[in-house]
């Protein structure tokens, strides 16, 4: 579907280039190779790729003591790691980012609350 392809490509562009008015970092600063390979946090801690990210949400966030959706995680990353202004719920930006990240999980089995790979 052309609309979904457009959302995915817009999301990838945001992932690669948008700082969300933060500290100058972009999603790819931590999530390397557009999220397709393991990455690193600014403190050097290794993090898994995003290749099954959409398949493991919803998941329990121990820090916030609640179940969160992929949208919540994306907004947490923008606010935390990028120190930026998270895209609003329901916004085209958030929809595009989530569409791109979800595309990386295409064909992966659902494993709600499972481990990132």
Low-confidence ranges of the chain (pLDDT < 50): none
pTM of the model: 0.94
pLDDT of residue 117: 82
How far is it, in rounded angstroms, from Cα 36 to Cα 68? 22
Measured distance between the N- and C-terminal CA atoms of the chain, rounded to whole angstroms: 27
Beta strand 59-61 pairing with 66-68: antiparallel
CA atoms within 13 A on the CB side of 33: 10
pLDDT of residue 64: 85
Distances (CA, A) of 95 to 7, 8, 47, 61, 115: 7, 9, 23, 21, 23
Q: Encoding tokens for residue 86?
A: 């998270």
Residue among 105, 76, 100, 111 nearest 11 (CA): 100
């Amino acid at each position: 579907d052309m609309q979904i392809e457009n959302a995915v490509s817009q999301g990838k562009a945001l992932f690669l280039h948008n700082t969300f008015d933060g500290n100058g970092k972009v999603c790819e600063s931590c999530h390397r190779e557009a999220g397709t390979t393991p990455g690193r946090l600014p403190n050097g801690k290794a993090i898994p790729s995003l290749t099954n990210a959409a398949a493991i949400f919803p998941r329990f966030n121990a820090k916030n003591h609640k179940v969160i959706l992929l949208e919540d995680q994306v907004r947490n990353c923008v606010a935390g790691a990028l120190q930026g202004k998270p895209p609003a719920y329901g916004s085209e930006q958030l929809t595009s980012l989530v569409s791109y990240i979800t595309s990386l999980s295409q064909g992966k089995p659902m494993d709600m609350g499972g481990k990132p790979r």
